[in-house]
Amino acid sequence: MKKELKMPKTRFEAIVFTAITAWMMVYVMTLYNTVLATSSLTNSTFFIALKSMWIEFVIIFLCAYFISSKVAKYFAFKVVQPTDRGIVIVLMIQVFTVISQVALASILGVYHGYGFDSQFIPHYLITYCRNFMMALPVQLFIVGPMARYLFRVLFSSTNGVEEEKIEKELLEEFSEKIESSWADFFFSYKKENEETFDEGSQDKSEETEKEETPEESRKKELREAIEKYKPDT
């Protein structure tokens, strides 16, 4: 049986998943830019990157949760369809997430590397291209799979309980709708039959009232004749 991808289903899960992904991406990209800036990679470089990443992490997390995630999903579903395979949809969302996140993060990169001056646009383009070449493969092949694995570890039992609860609620709601539909059908059918019976009874009673026996008809004609030829007093 094919195992489905575990993805965030609640706001809390989305926040946790975004935080995991943002933390790993910011750390890797901070380490990458530190190596480029110092032209060296030593044991202390890992600690320098870990120490200096937290402001960027907060900014990138907020941008990812409130901006990039929505932008990425919007453009991703312009390319793929909801009926496509789950992994294809996830990968396409990740590609557009990297595009939008690098666009925002490169502003911070320009500020740290060059400062905001008259050469902002050339510096921004250089920084964007340099970060994008690193960020895309890291997101697709390292951070993305690791983030999804950690998310499954953290929320696998929660998702299972939640899915069972949702399934049970849906079944109960479906049963209630079926019972309600049958009840409505029964009462409406009964009401229609009663109305038809009442109308038929009423019509028959009216017809009975309108019909006269031959004897009553003769008596009526006799009374009319007597009234017609009765002498005036």
| Per-residue model confidence as pLDDT tens digits over 133-175 | 999 999 999 999 999 999 999 987 655 555 556 556 655 665 6
pTM (2 d.p.): 0.65
Q: Is 27 within 8 Å of 53 (Cβ atoms)?
A: yes
Residue 4 lies in a domain: no
The reported pLDDT for the residue numbered 6 is 64
Gap between the Cα atoms of 179 and 154, Å rounded: 39
In this structure, the answer to whether residues 129 and 199 fall within a common structural domain is no
* 180-208 confidence digits (pLDDT tens): 665 665 566 556 665 555 555 555 555 55
Q: pLDDT band for position 49 (50/70/90)?
A: very high
Classify residue 84 by its DSSP letter: S
Contact 26, 138 (CB under 8 A): no
Helix axes 54-63, 86-113, angle to 10 degrees: 130
* 143 lies in the same domain as 206: no
* Max CA pair span of the chain: 143
Residue span of the structural domain in which 188 resides? 183-227
Residues 113 and 63 in one domain: yes
* Domains: count for the chain: 2
Please tell me whether residues 131 and 203 are part of one structural domain.
Answer: no
Q: Is 177 domain-assigned?
A: no
**Confidence category of residue 8, pLDDT binned at 50, 70, 90:** confident
